[in-house]
Amino acid sequence: MNILYKLRSYKLWLVLFILCFFIQALHLEGFFRFDRQLIEKWQFWRLISGHLTHLNWSHFLLNMAGLSMVAIFFSSYKSTTYWIEALLFISLVCSVGMLIDNQLDRYVGFSGVLHGLFIIGARWEMTRYKVSGVVLLTIIIGKIIWEQIFGALPGSESMTGGRVAVNAHLYGAVAGVLFVLRDIRKK
């Protein structure tokens, strides 16, 4: 299969990678991160842009590895427009969840969005390869349950260099489920 067809929305993933890279390289995290006090002062772009910022380069690389997996394994299932809608929806739902939750004043990272994208990816994977889709969904759900009961996976905080916002993963996954339900309802 032609790799560019498989990555037919590759421009989206590339733009997303470049945005995250430049925010990290130019140390723009303070202007873009999710910051509760600043959002309450009408800086609403942070509801989206907070997911494009990272603590450090290892955090950035981990999230970009996840983004690469989404691009490689799932982008061929749907159009670029579909994935843009999914990214915006998950980002907003995840951020609103964090605003309501009140446990986080500041947040950086793409992992909440990635959890939602993997839920959506698992749904589409099940349409072609049921077993691998079910396995992926089971892993994601198991990870979310683990994090809600025991906290971050062992070693994840040392790899990212900071506290893992496990509730962001939960809200991202919930957003992914809501997006999938929207798809099913549209049929």
34's CB contacts (< 8 A; 6+ apart) are: 46, 47, 50, 51, 95, 98, 104, 106, 107, 108
pLDDT at 104: 87
Predicted pLDDT of residue 186 = 82
> What pTM, to 2 d.p., does this model score?
0.93
104-160 pLDDT per residue, tens: 899 999 999 999 999 999 999 999 999 999 999 999 999 999 999 998 888 888 888
Measuring CA to CA, which residue among 13, 172, 3 is closest to residue 91? 172
Over residues 87-111, the mean pLDDT reads 95
DSSP 55: S
Architecture in CATH of 7-186: Up-down Bundle (1.20)
Predicted confidence (pLDDT) per residue in 27-69, tens digit: 999 999 999 999 999 999 999 999 999 999 999 999 999 999 9
Average pLDDT, the chain: 93
- Give residue limits of the domains in the chain: 7-186
Decide if 80 contacts 11 (C-beta within 8 A).
Answer: yes
For residue 12, give the H/E element and its range.
helix 10-25
Structure confidence at residue 1 (pLDDT): 46
